[in-house]
Amino acid sequence: MIKIKQKSDNLLDHKTECLILPCTEEKKPGQTLKAVDAVLNGAITAAFENKRFTGKPNQTLLLNSAGCLKADNLLLVGVGKAKEVTAEKICQASGAAAKVAERSNFKSVSIFLNDSCFDQIAKGKGKLYGELSGAVAEGAGLALYHFDNYKSTDEKDDPPSRVGQLTLIPASKVRQATVEKSIARAEKIVNAVHSARDLVSHPGNTATPTFLAEHAKKMARKNKITCKVLGKKEMEKLGMGALLGVSRGSHEPPALIVLEYYGAAKKKAPTVIVGKGITFDTGGISLKPGAKMDEMKMDMSGAATTLAALQAISSLKLPINVIGIVAAAENMPGGSAIKPGDILKSLSGKTIEVLNTDAEGRLVLADALTYAQRYKPKEVIDLATLTGAVLMALGHQGAAVVGNNENMIARLKKSGDATGERVWELPLWEEFEKAVKSDIADLKNIASPGVGAGTITAAAFLKPFAGDQPWTHIDIAGTAWGYDKPYTTKGASGYGVRLLIHYLEHPK
């Protein structure tokens, strides 16, 4: 990850290849822009008059300073109307500008924390100014992510363009301490999101259940989190027949990864986060189509988000108790694989008729959710790339949330709006729960024909394993991969980390 620093400097005297200046939407240049415009001989005024730039959200205008500024180039980025600007919109604008700067082959980039812009939005509130400056650092840091682990190092003929230095410039020395804290927080969140993106981006022959377990152990040691990993023998002893059933067709052993973070008194009930960790999903005997099957390495995105969220929670030293549980397995069509029609006995004792082996995520989550009950949690959140049906409902624009507690869902929606990682509630009606009842077992892993509502019936299947405490299921199949935001990149998005951190930091 790129290191972000700050420097107190005068806007007109700051030396850099590219100076980024956030601007609110106006009909003509505002206070700070007027000073720069005077030096640039009216170039900004001309852009406003020609409607090449007005400060609309994520709109950019790149100008060569032609020696009139100490900065070689000036990049204006719009944040929208002052009354409508939020920290998330600042985050998006910063990401959009950082990408333009990198595409323009700039190695040194600075962002001026424009007081005339930020003060309109913050209305003089110091805490909000810190939130906005943190959003600048977060957006740029997220946008400048790259996954180059498997590229040849011999790229001398065509080396990749990378921003090597990112500097935030407070408009005054009074702001420096606030900006320093904002940068430190943003870096911890960005690091965690990048960690999730890395895990999802690794191919299935690298990111096996064992790989996830080893990553969790290393992360736990670094962040002073307790980590334990249950292997096949331990799971057999406990009776985790659903998770073990999914892994039967693979040569890769399964793992149940448990992370324990205690930032408060241990007697306080924890939040439990459960992540689906199918490290590669062929569909098993119910084989998926070949097209885009390579993307099924992302079927452990819920696990990646869970691990990264624990990393962020610990590095931010949140005063709460959180347990992270990852159910990791590979779903393959081997000679020992489960077949359509097989019946598995879960950790809860409930039996499951497997009608489709490609509905495997809910099987591993069933045992993980049951295991979570031993912590007597105050609430449980599970995240999973669970259904293709969620794409039909919400596309790549948001995740579906289904649960048994309206307060949790309302808070998640509020956190989703605040972070840009949006969720939308789908109803868990009684008819959907009836649709996953089996004639010959307790439950079946897909609903009766003709019911439809694949995302909701998947959640209805999970409900009996989730316990009586508040529980929500978040289907991230459409957002974990291909989630298009100015600060995301192609492929893995790291969706859910920022959502969970905001949710946990805002308990009401």
348 is written with which tokens? Answer: 């809860």
Angstrom distance (rounded) from CA 245 to CA 247: 5
233 is catalytic: no
Residues belonging to the chain: 508
Q: Is 362 a catalytic residue?
A: yes
Q: Which of 81, 232, 288, 414 is catalytic?
A: 288
Maximum distance among all Cα pairs of the chain, rounded to whole angstroms: 80
> Which residue type sits at 405?
N
Per-residue H/E/C for 337-356: CCCCCCEEECCCCCEEECCC
Q: Are 404 and 469 in contact (CB under 8 A)?
A: no
For residues 58 and 90, give the distance between their C-alpha atoms in angstroms, rounded to a whole number.
9
R_g of the chain computed on alpha carbons: 24
Strands (E), 237-288: 255-262, 271-281
Structure tokens, 66: 């032609």
Active-site pick, 99, 175, 276, 362? 362
Going 381 to 384 to 390 to 395, the CA torsion angle's sign is: positive
Residue from 98, 65, 97, 81 nearest 30 by CA: 81
DSSP tag of 252:
S
CA distance 120 to 112: 15
With beta carbons less than 8 A apart as the criterion, state whether 457 and 367 touch.
Answer: no
* Paired tokens of 361: 């995520």
Number of H helices, E strands in the chain: 16, 17
Q: Which two tokens stand for residue 464?
A: 């009996």
Report the candidate in 472, 184, 193 with the shortest Cα–Cα distance to residue 307. 193
Tokens of 363: 């099987």
Q: Which residues are catalytic?
A: 288, 362
